[in-house]
Homo-oligomer: A and B are copies of this chain.
Amino acid sequence: MKNLSNDVLEMVAKQFRVLAEPVRLQILQCVGNEERAVGEIVERIKASQPNVSKHLKVMQEAGILIRRQEKNNAYYRVADPRIFDMCDMVCGALKKRMETRAKVLALL
C-alpha cells in the first residue's frame, strides 16, 4: 500500500463501508454475473422491496452496481467482478483463522 493521503483513505473506507452490510453482500451474491431485476432480488433474498431498493441505490452510487432501466423494470449488474475476489479473500482469511483456532483448541 503506497502512502495514501487521508482524503484517499476516507474514500477507500467509504467503499469498504458499502461492503460492510450483510444484506448488500446477499444482493451481490444474488446478482452474481447476471443482470437481475429488483423484484427478482427482493423475492430471492427475502427482504422488503424498499429496503432492497435503498441498498441497490447505495451500491450503484458507490459504483459497485450498474443500473439499466427497461420498460418499467430496473435491472442491476455488477460493475467489476473482481469484487467477488475481494469477498473470497476475506472469506479465505476467516477460514484460515478459524482453522488455526480449532487446532489450538484441539491441543487442550
User: What residues make up the interface of A, taking CB atoms closer than 8 Å to B?
Assistant: 1, 3-4, 6, 8-17, 19-22, 24-26, 28-29, 32, 63, 80, 82, 84-91, 93-94, 97
- Tell me what chain A mostly uses at the interface: helix, strand, loop, or mixed: helix
Contact B3 A25 (CB under 8 A): no
CA distance A66 to B102 in the complex (A): 18
How often does this chain occur in the complex, in copies?
A: 2
Do A12 and B63 have beta carbons less than 8 Å apart? no
Closest chain B residue to A45 by CB distance?
A: B6
A-B contacts besides A13-B24, A63-B97, 10 pairs, CB < 8 Å: A1-B88, A4-B25, A6-B26, A12-B91, A13-B25, A14-B20, A19-B20, A63-B93, A80-B93, A86-B90
